[in-house]
Structure 1
Amino acid sequence: MATVQAVLGNLTPTDRRILTAVNTGASSLSFLGSGFIVLCYVLFKDLRKFSFKLVFYLALSDMLCSFFSIIGDPSKGFFCYTQGYSTHFFCVASFLWTTIIAFTLHRTVVRHKTDVEDLEPLFHLYVWGTSLVMTIIRSIGNDHGHLGGLGAWCWTQTGRTGKVVHFITFYAPLWGAILFNGVTYFQVIRMLNNATRMAVGMSDRSYQPDARADMKALNRWGYYPLILIGSWTFGTINRIHDFIEPDHKIFWLSVLDVGMAALMGLFNSIAYGLNSSVRRAIYERLDLLPERLQRWFPHSIKSRAQRHESELVSLKIQDQQ
C-alpha cells in the first residue's frame, strides 16, 4: 500500500525484508479478494445493477492498488514513477468509492431520491478527479527513487515537507471519508431501524422474527466504516510518530501499519462484495454442476445466503428508478 514507503526509515535490513514480505502477502490476499469480486461482476450478468456496479468500481480500485503494491524491483525511471503514482492514485480512489456507496444509500433510503444512477458521471469525476489531484500534489517534496537494497517500493518521503504533503494528500481525505461514512451509515441505520420497529408494532407476531433478522442485517452496515478505521489507524499513528521522531522507528507498529493497510482490499471485498446477491449468483451456477461435485459444497452456506436478503445490493436501488 501507499503507506509502505514511509515506514522503512532506519530499520535494519532484516526488519525491512520482513515488512516487504508482510506487504506482499497481505496485498496478494487483497488482490485475490478484490479480483474475485471483479470477476463475478464480469461473469454474472444479473449482478450488473447500479448498486453492485459501485462495488465493482471499489473492487477494481482495490485490485489495482494491491497490484502496484506488490510488483517488485522498480528501477529508477519510468517504471518507478508509474508504481509510485499508481499506488497512491488507486488507494485514494478505493476509500473515495466507499463514500460514494454511503452517499448512494443515504440519498436512496433517507432522502428517498431516485436519481442516483443519473449521478454516475459526477461520481466518476469526484473519485478519479480527486485521486488525480491528490496524486499530483503528493509529488511535492518527494524523491522518486527506489530504496537501496530493497527493490520493492518507490516514492519515499524526504524531509518534513514530503511527510506533511503525504498526510494532507492521503490521510486527511482518508479520515474525512471515515467521518462521512460513519455519519451517513448512522443516519441510514437509525431511519431503517425506526421504520422496522414501527412495522413490527403495527403487524402481528409472525412478522417479528423476520424483522429482527432484517435489523441485524442493517446493523452490519455500521461495520463498514470500521474497515477503513482498522486498516489505517496504525498507519496514521505511525505517520504522526515518524513526524515527531523521524530517527526512531517502532518495528511492531510498522508491521501493523503495513499489514493492516495492505488488507484493506480483502476487507472491502468481504464486506461489500460477498453479499446475498453474489452468493445467490454463485450457488445458482453450482446447481448446474454434476451432483457428485455438488457434494463438495456445504448446504449450510447456501441456506445462510438465502437468509441474508437485507444487504447492500438487496436495496434494489435500480428498481426504484
Structure 2
Amino acid sequence: MAAAVAVAGVLTAHDRRILTAVNVGASSLSFVGSGFIVLCYVLFKELRKFSFKLVFYLALSDMLCSLFSIVGDPSKGFFCYAEGYSTHFFCVASFLWTTTIAFTLHRTVVKHKTDVEDLEAMFHLYVWGTSLVMTVIRSFGNDHRHLSSWCWTQTGRTGKAIHLVTFYMPLWGAILYNGYTYFQVIRMLNNATRMAVGMSDRAYQLDARPDMKALNRWGYYPLILIGSWTFGTINRIHDFIEPGHKILWLSFLDVGTAALMGLFNSIAYGLNSSVRRAICERLDLFWPEKLRRWLPNNLKYRNQQQESELVLLRIDEQR
C-alpha cells in the first residue's frame, strides 16, 4: 500500500524484508477480499443496482491498489514507478469512493432526493480526477534517484510535505466528511424510530427494524479509514519532524493496517445482506442437499426478507 513506500529510512535490510513480507501478506488479503466483491458484482445481476455499483467501484479501487502494492519491485525501475504511482492513485480513489457512498446515503435519507443515479458521471469525475491530480502533484516532490529498498521513497522535507498534502490531507478530509454525514443519517433515523414508538405505530416499527440494524454497520464505516491510516499518519508526521529516526514497531503497524484497508472495506461495505442472499440462493441451486444440511438455517434464510443494508437508498423503489 501507499504507506509502505515511505518507511525505509535507517531501518536495516532485515527490517525492510520483514516490512515487505507484512505488506505483501496484508495486501494479498485485501486483494482477495476486494476481488471477491468485484466477482460477486460481475456474476450476480441482481446486485447491479446503483447502491451496490458504488461498492463495486470501491472494491475495484482497493483491488488494484493491493495488486500494484504486491507486484512493485524496487530493483526494476518500471515496476517500481508503476507501484508508486498506481498505489497512490487507487488508494486515494478508494477513500474518495467511500465519500460518494456517504453522500448518496445522506442525499437519499436526509435530503429525500431521488436523483443520485444522475450524479454517477460527476462521481467518476470527482474520484478519478482528484486521484489523478493528487498523484501528479505528489510526483513533483519525489526523488527518483533514491529508490533504495522501497518505491517512491521521500528523501527531502519538501517531498514529505507534498506526500502529507496529497494523500493524508484528503484522507482525513474524507474521514471527517464520512463521520459527519453518517452521524446525520443515523440521527435522523433514530428520531424517526422514536417518533414511531411514541405514536405506537407497530407496523412502522416492524418495517423500520431492518433499517435500524443497518445503523450498527454505518456507525463503523468511518472507523475503517481511521483504523487503517492512524498509524500511517503518525508515522508520516514523526518522519517529517524527525527525519532519519524510524520507529520499527510504528512502521510495522503503519504498513500492516494500511495494507488491510481493502479487506476491511470488502467486509463492511460488500458483505451485506444482498450479497449473502445471492450466494445462498446459488448454494441452494447447485449444492447437493446433503451439503446444504450443514449450513446454518440463519445463513440460508435470515436475509430472504431483507434488502441490502444500503437499501435505504430506495432509488429503485422510488422511481
TM-score (norm 1): 0.93
Q: Which moved more, 1:175-184 or 1:244-253?
A: 244-253
> CA separation in 1, counterparts of 2:145 and 2:73?
11
> CA separation in 2, counterparts of 1:21 and 1:38?
25
2:314 to 294, 309, 316: 316
How much does 1:199 deviate? 1.7
> Is residue 302 of structure 1 aligned with residue 295 of structure 2?
no
> Is residue 6 of structure 1 aligned with residue 3 of structure 2?
no
CA contact (8 A) 1:145 1:156 kept: no
2:217 to 220, 224, 229: 220
Partner of residue 141, structure 2:
141
Partner of residue 81, structure 1:
81
Query: Cα–Cα, structure 1 residues 306 and 8, in superposed 2: closer, same or farther, change >3 Å?
Result: farther
2:239 to 230, 238, 242: 242
> CA separation in 2, counterparts of 1:311 and 1:146?
47
How much does 1:31 deviate? 0.3
Q: Which moved more, 1:67-76 or 1:238-247?
A: 67-76
Query: Cα–Cα, structure 1 residues 248 and 14, in superposed 2: closer, same or farther, change >3 Å?
Result: same
> CA separation in 2, counterparts of 1:49 and 1:255?
39
The alignment partner of 2:219 has SS state of: helix
> Is residue 263 of structure 1 aligned with residue 260 of structure 2?
yes
1:174 to 171, 189, 210: 171
Whichever residue aligns with residue 242 of structure 2, its letter is E
Query: Cα–Cα, structure 1 residues 212 and 314, in superposed 2: closer, same or farther, change >3 Å?
Result: closer
CA contact (8 A) 1:52 1:313 kept: no
- Number of corresponding residues: 318
Whichever residue aligns with residue 115 of structure 2, its letter is D
Whichever residue aligns with residue 300 of structure 1, its letter is N
Whichever residue aligns with residue 311 of structure 1, its letter is E
CA contact (8 A) 1:182 1:225 kept: yes
How much does 1:144 deviate? 2.8
Query: Cα–Cα, structure 1 residues 65 and 163, in superposed 2: closer, same or farther, change >3 Å?
Result: same
CA contact (8 A) 1:218 1:310 kept: no
Q: Which moved more, 1:278-287 or 1:192-201?
A: 192-201
TM-score (norm 2): 0.94
How much does 1:12 deviate? 1.3
Query: Cα–Cα, structure 1 residues 7 and 307, in superposed 2: closer, same or farther, change >3 Å?
Result: farther
> Is residue 203 of structure 1 aligned with residue 200 of structure 2?
yes
Alignment map for 1:255-294 (pairs within 5 Å): 255-288=252-285, 289-294=287-292
How much does 1:87 deviate? 0.8
Quote the sequence identity (%): 83
Offset from partner CA, 1:88-139 (integer Å, 9 cap, x none): 0000000000000000000111011111000100000000000000000000
CA contact (8 A) 1:276 1:305 kept: yes
How much does 1:218 deviate? 1.7
Q: Which moved more, 1:267-276 or 1:307-316?
A: 307-316
Whichever residue aligns with residue 27 of structure 2, its letter is S
Query: Cα–Cα, structure 1 residues 90 and 310, in superposed 2: closer, same or farther, change >3 Å?
Result: closer
CA contact (8 A) 1:28 1:70 kept: yes
CA contact (8 A) 1:74 1:83 kept: no
Query: Cα–Cα, structure 1 residues 159 and 192, in superposed 2: closer, same or farther, change >3 Å?
Result: same
Whichever residue aligns with residue 101 of structure 2, its letter is I
